[in-house]
Chains A and B, each alone.
Chain A
């Protein structure tokens, strides 16, 4: 079974790989047939403030791909957002052609043990970067990044490296724009999470002195749902851990049909009566205790507030305006965590509209937005991912469960590597990347013009003092310097 499935997947991956290995072919197919080409004419924004459409594309996407701003202008922000909120309606075959060549991303948790760690690390990271750069389902990718931080799992802890690919696929990507309850429910029983936060050893066997392992139960409340000041007590944590006891993962389990998946071990479950956040969970609930628990914590008002605050921090500004949080939280409560509705509410707040340029791009967004703006051609090899490591933002490598922060300071020590990346990318020296500035310049209708490039890359016209810095720089260096400028570090 295993071999044939693997062989099948491999041949599928090889099929894509054969095309992929001839990168120029993929590029030509994508540009010629699948709409990845730079449009013949690129309109420029002319205001001194960041253009509203550019702003939306900088937040609800990883920045505009050439032509995206025009497209939003034509269809309207509302229609664009609606389209993005339904990613399954967006044809993404150009991105698929680039990103689906990696074998390990198709494997179940148990089967991924067939791979060596460096292969797994390489493939999941490249896959994520390629999706972020090339997917037309940009809001989906942006939310994938958000939930990846929210439900952080470090590849380097224990066996997580084998289990994260399926978590990425079946938890994060599947539910990124779905329902919050379902997302949390899926995460709770994801093998990677069971290993990362020790849920797999949370057992209370009958007639033993077993104490439940509270690690996951605590983070479920503190980090995934209610927030540290959400109003739960130590007793709630202990009771939640009792509800969760018995959910485990064991890749060496014999005679199991679903080997390599998590399962509920009834003999490890504490089946007594429990009380979580004031709600009684009657005895004998067995594996259904989990669903009760997820509902209780997800429906708690603190959860709506906490998740909305985090969303506003990510998408509006790092100190989120209380009024916006309130609006978003109300929508969260009203819809029982319908992520689409919550995001629609968020991007429609006046606070969002007024927040242009107030966020610092974290390194991943900086890199991806630069690559998108220049219509970069890449297979995301090591030479592209290595700078991200230097910038302190290695994907899936945040050691503690709170995920990479939405703060400015932690990212301020590595500006030099951003500058180098920008300068190298623009001049075609960043390892496995290719850019064609002349093509963009032609579409922009100006060659070596600082003002034009600045407006194109930042969504606003430069101030005179900003322009002064670019004096005498030839095209590649000019573009590189704009990518390195304070203006491009913000969005």
Chain B
């Protein structure tokens, strides 16, 4: 309640004395990667010291010889080689056994719950968790590009945001003249004349918007090579990350960027060091590493958080795949991340929990409520954020990731 009122009074106050915009140079971007389909993170952050892992998935476990050792407990999938150095530098880390309290095992339910920042118990809140965050923490400097989603559809997590753009390329952000292929200079000049002549908040914000547009359009059409020799995967995910990097570099006030990577619902022939899932992991790791390399000169300006709706069960099924489970390893990358460690409870808790005869979701417990981690990441990215209405009723306790 307080938040809402204080937001309005804050906005009113902000509007009153001056229209000066806060420099966007300080802005921080949360890059939210969602692995759709329920990623089997046991094969990403591998508990190589647990015999049960090897016993219960004889065909799918990552052989010890292939595991990139992080410590005496955990290691990475071999295709995650590009992230090894980041882990050692303390910029890449993970939290084990994170999850939603939803026990339905439904992709839809669990994604829906997670994106709305809800719990199966208690009263849900309105909008998506990022949408709520952006709406409730909007300032007078909030940019027209405060949130983007890469793709063609608005993710539920951004529902309710004050400004959100769904785009595939930066070139989608354009002042459209209405005529195909026509240069927008004339239209922009007209808008400049109209809004420049207005000595009101509307005029001021119009001029600022034009300025933003011009900074975006300066990026457009130039297929500038990624910096520092970064090589993005040549697919939709890689291209999307590359667009995000361009937006971060341009300092446009981007606060949240959402991007999906699908293909994690590995019920059949999942593979281990190589195979179906290994290809996905490779794409993810190469993409994140490329983004980080490309943004070397902007390292303090972004944090990447990788989540999925649920993990998968420890044991493999008869078709050499894995079925829906609960807990998963949430990963994060960035200067503000306390990396170089795998936090959270040991994923495989006790023998009876991984009973192969257990029907339905199970296998791994969800020890840490995902909202604890999301909240900590938001706090880490945007210090001073008011999260009481972002995750109403949740008492945020330190996880140690940020």
Contact = CB atoms under 8 A, between A and B. Distances in A.
Interface of A: 154, 156-158, 160, 196, 198, 201, 215, 218, 222, 228, 360, 386, 389-392, 394, 397-400, 402, 405, 407-410, 412-417, 419-420, 423-424, 426-429, 465-466, 468-470, 472-473, 476-477, 480-481, 484-486, 489-490
A407 B135 CA distance: 14
B68 to A, nearest CB: 41
A408 B202 contact: yes
Given A394-B159, A413-B142, A423-B177, A158 B124 contact: yes
A360 B179 contact: no
Q: Which 6 A-B pairs have the closest CB atoms?
A: A427-B178, A399-B127, A154-B126, A399-B126, A469-B193, A412-B205
Interface residues of B, number: 62
A154 B194 contact: no
Contact of A415 (B8, B118, B144, B173): B144
A161 to B, nearest CB: 11
A252 to B, nearest CB: 17
A489 B178 contact: no
A389 B160 CA distance: 9
B190 interface: yes
B191 interface: yes
Contacts of A390: 163-166
B125 interface: yes
Contacts of B212: 416
B182 to A, nearest CB: 9
Interface in B51-110: none
A426 B178 contact: yes
Contacts of A417: 144
Given A228-B5, A398-B160, A468 B126 contact: no
Contact of A413 (B5, B143, B176, B202): B143
A84 to B, nearest CB: 29
25 contacts: A156-B159, A158-B123, A196-B126, A215-B123, A228-B5, A390-B165, A394-B159, A397-B127, A397-B159, A400-B136, A408-B202, A413-B162, A413-B163, A415-B144, A416-B213, A424-B176, A429-B176, A469-B190, A477-B178, A477-B186, A480-B177, A481-B191, A486-B198, A486-B206, A490-B202
Nearest to A466: B194
B175 A420 contact: yes
A222 B156 CA distance: 29
Given A399-B135, A415-B209, A473-B186, A408 B201 contact: yes
Interface string B130-172: 0110011010101110100000001010011111111000000
B345 interface: no
Contacts of B213: 416
Interface string B386-399: 00010000000000
A346 B313 CA distance: 64
Contact of B144 (A389, A414, A428): A414
A389 B148 CA distance: 12
A409 B205 CA distance: 9
B123 A389 contact: no
Contacts of B1: 218, 222
B116 interface: yes
Contacts of A428: 178
Contact of A484 (B140, B191, B203): B191
Given A392-B161, A416-B209, A402 B175 contact: no
B163 A414 contact: yes
A335 B291 CA distance: 64
B197 interface: yes
A358 to B, nearest CB: 11
B185 to A, nearest CB: 12
A250 B165 CA distance: 37
B215 interface: no
Interface string B1-37: 1001100100110110000000000000000000000
A156 B209 contact: no
A26 to B, nearest CB: 26
B13 to A, nearest CB: 10
Contact of A405 (B8, B166, B174, B205): B8
A436 B209 CA distance: 30
A419 B200 CA distance: 18
Given A154-B160, A156-B116, A400-B126, 8 more contacts: A389-B164, A392-B162, A398-B127, A412-B202, A427-B179, A480-B178, A481-B190, A484-B191
Nearest to B190: A469
A379 B129 CA distance: 31
A200 to B, nearest CB: 10
